[in-house]
Amino acid sequence: MRSSTVYIKLVLTAVFWGGTFIAGHEVARHLEPFPFSIAFLRFALAAVLLLSLVRLREGRFPPLALGQAVQVVLLGLTGVFAYNVLFFKGLSLIEAGRAALIVATCPAFIAVAGVLFFREKLAPVQAIGIPLSILGAAVVISRGHVRQIVAGGVGPGELFILGCVLSWAAYSLIGKVALRRLSPLAAVSYSSLAGTIALALPALREGLGQAVARATVLDWTAIAYLAVFGTVLGFVWFYQGVQRIGATRAGLFINFVPISAVLLAFFLLREPVTWSLALGAALVLSGVYLTNRAARSQKPLTE
């Protein structure tokens, strides 16, 4: 594969992942009472496609030992079940661009969790990037009134998206262990299947049939986008980039995800770019860049 093609795919991956906030915002607002159902439909489709890719690329479905099966279930519960329910609940309440900037603080939280649970050491540049990124998130969450966080004046939408960040941090740390014996494609495929199974019963109890009946063509388009572009193509193309140009250079493109999300939200949803959003974006992106400079070798599982 030519290098130019790889770079094009990585740019498109960043746009795809930024677009998940737009698609998620629209379907979550229209199907607001059905977050479990939306997440189930997204990952049911994604799991089928991903497992088909595993079969095609690896020639079989890699067997799982008991410990690996436990890891896969935990990946499904954190990165698929919890993350996506909180994702759709949050996006039904706040703007897509704001949500994307909060989620962009994931590397900072992952780095802190790595210190706490894996006794990893922070490089000096990370020690600067982490508080900078979290400060930016605080500005975005509080809409420029950081003191409101202490006073409990933050809305539920922001708290749901912050829950996404914590779920993704847990997912990434568990994935760090799972990837020692599983390929990234197999790990994501199996965790997507586990998360889909976990979502099935809550989706049925919530009214999956009603959600399907109520969904419009736009809703189905958004769900298909989330499954195909946000999960399957985004994952495959990102790891093609990792294989071709290395994790360091490929990882740089992840920093464009919140930028693309804010720009797409501005042009497609007419969401305003307020001063607090712009300031928070500058702080978050600066912090994410500094945090990632010393942590490029860590592989994310999916977006």
Spatial CA neighbour of 64 closest among 194, 243, 161, 157: 194
- Sign for the pseudo-dihedral over CA of 153, 156, 160, 161: negative
- Tell me, yes or no, whether 68 lies in a domain: yes
Spatial CA neighbour of 109 closest among 145, 91, 136, 84: 136
- Tell me, yes or no, whether 237 lies in a domain: yes
More confident residue, 82 or 287: 82
* Lowest pLDDT segment from 54-58, 128-132, 212-216: 128-132
pTM score: 0.87
- Tell me, yes or no, whether 299 lies in a domain: no
pLDDT value at 113 more than 90: no
- Tell me, yes or no, whether 151 lies in a domain: yes
Q: Rounded to 10 degrees, what is the CA torsion of 136, 140, 141, 145?
A: 90
Predicted local distance difference test score (pLDDT) of residue 295: 53
Structural domain total, the chain: 1
- Tell me, yes or no, whether 209 lies in a domain: yes
Query: How high does pLDDT run on average in the chain?
Result: 88
Which structural domain range is residue 185 located in? Answer: 3-293
Per-residue pLDDT tens over the stretch 23-78: 999 999 999 999 999 999 999 999 999 999 999 998 999 999 999 999 999 999 99
Per-residue pLDDT tens over the stretch 81-109: 999 999 999 999 999 998 998 988 888 88
Contacts by residues 116-123 (CB-CB < 8 Å, ≥ 24 positions apart): 117/173, 118/173, 118/176, 122/294, 123/293, 123/294
Q: Average pLDDT in the 258-279 region?
A: 90
- Tell me, yes or no, whether 301 lies in a domain: no
Distance of alpha carbon 24 from alpha carbon 293, whole angstroms: 29
- Tell me, yes or no, whether 303 lies in a domain: no
Predicted local distance difference test score (pLDDT) of residue 198: 97
More confident residue, 199 or 108: 199
pLDDT value at 121 more than 70: yes
pLDDT band at 265 (very low <50, low <70, confident <90, very high): very high
* Lowest pLDDT segment from 69-78, 143-152, 189-198, 230-239: 143-152
Predicted local distance difference test score (pLDDT) of residue 297: 46
Predicted local distance difference test score (pLDDT) of residue 301: 56
- Tell me, yes or no, whether 131 lies in a domain: yes
